Every structure is written in C-alpha cells, then in structure tokens.
Structure 1
Amino acid sequence: MKQKITFLTTVFLITCNMFSQNTYVFLGSYNRNKTAEAIQIYQLDTLNGKLIKIASVKNIINPSYLTVSPNGKYVYACTDTKTPNAGSVSSFEFNPENKSLTFLNSQRSGGENPVYVTVHKSGKWIANANYTEGSVSVYPLLENGKIDSIAQNFQYTDGSIHKERQTRSHVHSAVFSPQFDYLFLPDLGADKIRCYAFDENKKQPLTEAQSPFTKTDLEAGPRHFTFHPNQKFGYCIEEMAGQISVYNYENGVLNKIQRIATHINKIKEGFESSDIHISPDGKFLYAANRGKENNIAIFSINENGLLKNVGYQSTLGKHPRVFAIDETGNFLVATNVNTGNIIVFRRNPKTGLLKKTGKEIKMENVSCVQIRQI
C-alpha cells in the first residue's frame, strides 16, 4: 500500500511540474533605433498556438540573435549587429513571474557584426560568432548572469573562390557538440566547418581539435549547423548553394554521407538558405529558404541519417532568417525579417508537415526566435 501511495505521489508531482511550466517565445530584431522595442517575449498557448505578449526591452541596437541559459533565467544576445565599427554581446535577466526582462551588461564581441551566440550546458560559458571579420569569442559567465570579459578570441583571414562573398572568412554560427566537448564554426567565407575542443574547466577552454576543420563544397557557404538527438549525425545548411550536407559524427570528426537541395527549383541563383532544426523526436529536419522561395523545406530522417524531402511550407512572409521548434515538437515558429511577421505552425508528428495556427503577430525587422519551456 505504501509503495502504491509513493507511486501516485510521484505521478502527481510530475504532472504538477508539467503544468506549472510555461512556454515562452523570445524574439530579437534589427530595430536600428534605441527607442524601438529590441527584444519581445511572448507566452505560447500550447492549446491553440496563440502568442500573448508579456515583456520587452528597448535601449539596445540590433539584437540579431538570442539564446537562453539552461536554467531559463538569462537571455544572451548578439547586439550592435550590422553596426559599423561596433559589435557586442549582452545579457538580460528574465523573470516570468514579474513579466520582466532586465538588461544586465554588455561586452565587446571581439569582431564586427556578431551573428550567433550559444551557451554551454553548464551555464558557465557563451560563444559568439562574428561574421564580417570572421572570428569567434568565448566568455565566462558570472553567477549573476553577467558576461565576463573575453577569455579567447580567434580571427581568420582565409576565404574561398566566390569573388564577392568569399574574399575572407565569415563565421556564421557557433554550435556545441552533443556532449559539449567541441565547438563547431560554419565559415561561409572559407567553405569550412571549423572545430575546437572545448574544456569547460579551463580558463581558456578552446584548443585546436585533432581535425581543425572540415572542408565543404566550393561556394557552399556553410551557415548554420545542428546535431541529431541520437548524437550520431550532423547537418549543415549551406546558404550560398542552397544545400544541406549530412555528416556522420564521432568525437569531433565529421564525415559527409549526403548532400541534398533545400529548395524546389534546382537553379541555385537567387536563393539564400538560412536556418536548420530537427524535431525533438529525431524523425524530421526543417530548413529555411529565403529569396525566390520563402519557405520551410521538410525532410524525413532515415535511421542511417540520410534525408528525404517530404514537402514545403510557405512562411507566409518574406526573408525567414531564423525559426525554432518548441521542446514538445508540437509547434514551429517562423520569423520573416522583410515583412516583419511571426507565424506559429502546428507540426504533425506523423507526417512532419506544418499548418498555420493561432494568430500571426508583427515585429518590425524581426531577426530571431528562441522557444523555451520554463
């Protein structure tokens, strides 16, 4: 009898915890003016897909990319993006009970035009990719959520063959490996995916990996990268070529096993592939296309990691730069920069297909979205 009561109590506590958590949508923008709202936070109604605004901040410029700390208390942003002779990373404290987002501090990004920031699972480090000058910076995080000064900064000068877009390195993202012991840097300008070993216990955590980079196809323009939940495969979306390269992954080493187009039209000119994510169940991959096609390409994922296209979904706007999938896998939220609209899609877990739900919202020059259950 006592064992039965203990089991029921455990089920009750788990259920209470599930219902006590809320899902929040964090939006960044190219606001270009400190008087305009730079970051907005919404609560996602997980029954009907409706977004309810709860907080925002002003007085910062161009938070082009956001990430949320593992404990959900802090938001880190690339700031002063696309601002000449500038570039910073900033921290904010998020309090869902008070419905507030409070600025904490900023640090120089170590390069012009920061475009991607990611946080280590320990909550003790962030890494930032700088596009224009082609560099990566890592920073320790303080216990109060503030960003400490730069621990390491690596700059690159090598480019590739495209005479206009690849005259030098353009690091477009910084992505930790599944075990958080490596950091991968897709470099659009150099047609490389750079790699460093990462030791969270060192004051300077980055050291050159045994395989310091993986070459991509020429004029590929590697942009964003994601790992499969089973940790065996990596997927890189190539902005310039409009392709996805699929890799076997083990201990910091990538070996390519497939390359597949993201767009409907096989002629690559005029396409700019942007973002890539995998559903939490590991069964489907989603990739965003901008330019001639403003859509999300949908792929099923076989057990061997290979992709098969199963459809496309318009983002119902122009220039989808970043999208995100919620932790349950039920919703995908897409942001359209040029039309300034945010669309919530419900995801069919069996087919992988998307269907608009809820009501779209507006945010001028919306650049980024992150979703977290807190």
Structure 2
Amino acid sequence: MKKFLILISILSPVLGIAQKKPVFPKTFDLVVGAYTSGSSKGIAVYRFYTETGRLAYLNQIDNVSNPSYLTVSKNNKFVYAVNENDQGEVSSFSFEPKTGKLTFINKVSTLGGSPCYVSVDKNQKNLFVANYSGGNIAVLPLNEDGSIGAAVQTIKDGGHGPNKERQEKAHVHTAVLSPDEKYVLYTDLGTDKINITKYKGGKNNPIVPANPAFVSVTPGYGPRHLAFSNDKKTMYLITEMGSSVIVFDYNNGKPKQRQDITLLPDGFKGQTGAADIHISPNGRFLYASNRGDANDISVFSINQENGELTFIERRPSGGKGPRNFIIDPTGKFLIVAHQNSDNITVWRLDETSGKIMQVVNRVEVGNPVCLQFAPAM
C-alpha cells in the first residue's frame, strides 16, 4: 500500500491528480477607495463578473473623508479605510457582500498625519496603519464587532534622504504583514528603508524591531509598496522615485537584495511616480504601475527558481495616474484605478504570456485610488 501511495505521488503531476485548477465564484465585489476632494464622496462597491470583466454599480457610502486605502477583513464582514487627512484617522464599516452595503461603525485617530495604508491580520486582532506625513506606523486593536480600539503602539522613523524636497524626514508608505504573519514590514520613502518588526501579538507592544531592524535601498529611490512571491521566498519592492522594482531573497524576516530592474524605457526623460505592484495568481508574472508622464503598466516574467524578473512589455494603463491596480482572483483581468482621469479600466490578460491584451470595460469614478476584491456571497 505504501509503495502504491508513493507511486501516485510521483505520477500525480502527469495524471492530473490533485492538479485541478481552483474553482472561483463567478462574481466578486470590487470595493473602491477614492480621494473626496473631487467628485467622489466616499467608498463605492461594484459587482465584478469574472467571465466577462464587466463591472456593475452596487452601492456606496458617502461622507467618508479621503478613504485613499482600504482593506477587507478575512471573514468578509468588515472594511477598514484610512482617512488621509492632516489629523490622521481610520474608519471601520460593516460589509454586506450580497448588496455591497457599507455601514459606518467607528473612527479613531492613527496618531499620525496623512495615513495612506492599512492592513489587518488574518485573526482580525490588529490593524496596522502607515502614516505618511507622520512618519510612523501605528497598531490598533480590533473588537469582535469590527470596531477599532485606540492605538496601542506607534513606532516613529527618523532620518532623511538625499532629495531635500521629498525626503526631508520619514514618510512611511506601507505596513505589510509577511505571508506567515510573523513580521510586519513598513516602507519609508523618506529614509530609503524597509523597516522590519516582529509581530508577537498581545495587548502591549505587539510589534518589536527585528534583527536586523531594516534594509536600505539606493539613496533617493523612495520605497513604496511590497509584494511576496507565491512560494514566499522572494519579496518585491517598487520604488516611487527610482521607478524600479527591487528583488529580495526573503527568509524569516531577513531580505537580501538580488536584483534591481527599471520600469523606464531607455532615454525616458519625463516625470514619473511608480506606485503599485502585484503578482499574478499563478505566480508567473509581476505587474507594476508608473504615473507622471509614463502612465503605464510594466509586465515581467518571474524566474520560478530564483525569483528574478525579465521584462516582457510596457503598456499604457488607459488613463492618467494609475495609482493602484488589482488582478482578479481568476487571473484573467487586470483592473486599474486612475486618480487623475476619474476612471477605472478593466484589461484582459493573456494567462500564458502574461501580456496585457485589450480593455473590456471602463467605468467613470471620481479620483479612484484603491481597489480591493471581496467574495460576493
């Protein structure tokens, strides 16, 4: 019997045993965060159809100040959104996936100005917020009813970078949990560092500096967003000012730089502002957005052995200011939020080559800057 099981294990990739593609629902909710200085008034929810790429408006909640980044809880019951303003706040909402209805629960201080990123652990114990102008990361506990408690910890970064206009002090941009949730990593555009903390939970000081406590990148690059490979062995950083992707070997909270690859074509002279980075569900391709005069999405193939990137193509994003984008869970579509042209575009992807094919849908939304998927139950 044991020999038979070993033989099945060896032959399963050939026979197709345990190699079935995951079954996805036909619809998801697309939750859209936006700046409310223009025509948007809050958070909108659209139904996304995975067979066609169609978006259909469901619902929205108004009177939410600058929900520029948001996240959906693991149990799909709550949405948390930063309020990117000078005083710094984060709001919680109950969420009904069937209708897309959001109901305000509460709002608390993030103890830092201009919060621009929020994440939540899988057990829904804590929120992690990056305060851009405050230059710090804040940890806020969550209650069972989805409400947010007062911040229990902040860590403020010090220092500056070579760009006197944009790196005069710390500017924390993300607060990302490692795949195993043993670490919280936060990028600092102002000091050109990825800071690394251990996440130990508990009510007092849930995060503590790791050893090493940070890794530095090329001065003036301005670290922005992070993504991890599907096998969790590689970490990718997009640099806003450097307009590049830096590849790190990742092992238990210890990143080691392997590669630095540009997003720009040879001879490019215009303004840039690299923004977002995501990996395809099949783990074979990486996508990165660039704003300014570029307004494009770069596509790279991922070496499955060492995580290194090879450039495939660069495509116009379909609007101005592609601050944020997302790949649908089926891997068939890439959806881009354009802050400066008030629209969201849905692109079909070639799952074999990774290339961006054609626009299949476009909706008008005021100043969209964050997209998150939630199963439509």
| TM-score (normalizing by structure 1) | 0.91
Gapped runs of 5+ residues in structure 1?
1-16
- Does the alignment pair 1:64 with 2:86? no
CA shift for structure 1 position 98: 4.0
CA distance in 2 between partners of 1:268 and 1:210 (Å): 39
Q: How does 1:148-297 map to 2 (within 5 A)?
A: 148-267=149-268, 270-297=271-298
The match for 2:371 is: 369
CA shift for structure 1 position 355: 2.5
CA distance in 2 between partners of 1:166 and 1:143 (Å): 39
The answer to whether the Cα contact below 8 Å between 1:242 and 1:268 also exists between their aligned partners in 2 is no
Say if 1:181 and 1:339 are closer, same or farther in 2 by CA, change over 3 A. same
Say if 1:277 and 1:99 are closer, same or farther in 2 by CA, change over 3 A. closer
2:325 pairs with 311, 323, 326, which one? 323
2:50 pairs with 43, 46, 53, which one? 46
CA shift for structure 1 position 188: 0.4
CA distance in 1 between partners of 2:103 and 2:266 (Å): 45
CA shift for structure 1 position 211: 0.9
Range with greater deviation from structure 2 (114-123 or 266-275)? 266-275
CA shift for structure 1 position 212: 0.4
The match for 2:3 is: none
Say if 1:20 and 1:279 are closer, same or farther in 2 by CA, change over 3 A. closer
The answer to whether the Cα contact below 8 Å between 1:327 and 1:372 also exists between their aligned partners in 2 is no
The answer to whether the Cα contact below 8 Å between 1:271 and 1:292 also exists between their aligned partners in 2 is yes
The answer to whether the Cα contact below 8 Å between 1:31 and 1:61 also exists between their aligned partners in 2 is yes
2:340 pairs with 315, 338, 341, which one? 338
Q: How does 1:348-363 map to 2 (within 5 A)?
A: 348-363=350-365
Partner amino acid, structure 1, of 2:360: G
Q: How does 1:112-127 map to 2 (within 5 A)?
A: 112-127=113-128
Partner amino acid, structure 1, of 2:353: T
Partner amino acid, structure 2, of 1:31: T
The match for 1:74 is: 78
- Does the alignment pair 1:142 with 2:121? no
CA shift for structure 1 position 247: 0.2
CA distance in 1 between partners of 2:113 and 2:170 (Å): 12
Alpha-carbon deviations, 1:146-166, whole Å to 9, x = none? 111101111123111111111
The match for 2:59 is: 55
CA shift for structure 1 position 20: 5.9
CA distance in 2 between partners of 1:266 and 1:229 (Å): 33
Range with greater deviation from structure 2 (356-365 or 307-316)? 356-365
The match for 1:11 is: none
The match for 2:16 is: none
CA distance in 2 between partners of 1:103 and 1:331 (Å): 31
**CA-based RMSD:** 1.8
CA shift for structure 1 position 130: 0.6
Partner amino acid, structure 2, of 1:24: D
CA distance in 1 between partners of 2:72 and 2:225 (Å): 18
CA distance in 2 between partners of 1:149 and 1:218 (Å): 35
The match for 2:12 is: none
Alpha-carbon deviations, 1:100-151, whole Å to 9, x = none? 1111111111111000001111121110001112110011111111111101
The match for 1:10 is: none
The answer to whether the Cα contact below 8 Å between 1:241 and 1:268 also exists between their aligned partners in 2 is no
1:26 pairs with 6, 11, 31, which one? 31
Say if 1:271 and 1:98 are closer, same or farther in 2 by CA, change over 3 A. closer
- Does the alignment pair 1:132 with 2:133? yes
The match for 1:307 is: 309
CA distance in 2 between partners of 1:364 and 1:139 (Å): 29
The answer to whether the Cα contact below 8 Å between 1:327 and 1:373 also exists between their aligned partners in 2 is no
The match for 1:12 is: none
Partner amino acid, structure 2, of 1:54: L
Say if 1:20 and 1:328 are closer, same or farther in 2 by CA, change over 3 A. closer
CA distance in 1 between partners of 2:109 and 2:210 (Å): 26
CA shift for structure 1 position 310: 0.3
Alpha-carbon deviations, 1:330-371, whole Å to 9, x = none? 221100000010001122111101223432011111111112
| TM-score (normalizing by structure 2) | 0.90
The match for 1:3 is: none
CA distance in 2 between partners of 1:23 and 1:293 (Å): 30
SS in 2 for 1:183: strand
Say if 1:99 and 1:50 are closer, same or farther in 2 by CA, change over 3 A. same
CA distance in 1 between partners of 2:188 and 2:351 (Å): 33
CA distance in 1 between partners of 2:274 and 2:225 (Å): 9
CA shift for structure 1 position 266: 4.5
CA distance in 1 between partners of 2:73 and 2:179 (Å): 16
CA shift for structure 1 position 373: 2.4
Range with greater deviation from structure 2 (288-297 or 97-106)? 97-106
CA shift for structure 1 position 313: 2.0
Partner amino acid, structure 2, of 1:344: V
Alpha-carbon deviations, 1:291-310, whole Å to 9, x = none? 11101100000021000010
CA distance in 2 between partners of 1:233 and 1:141 (Å): 30
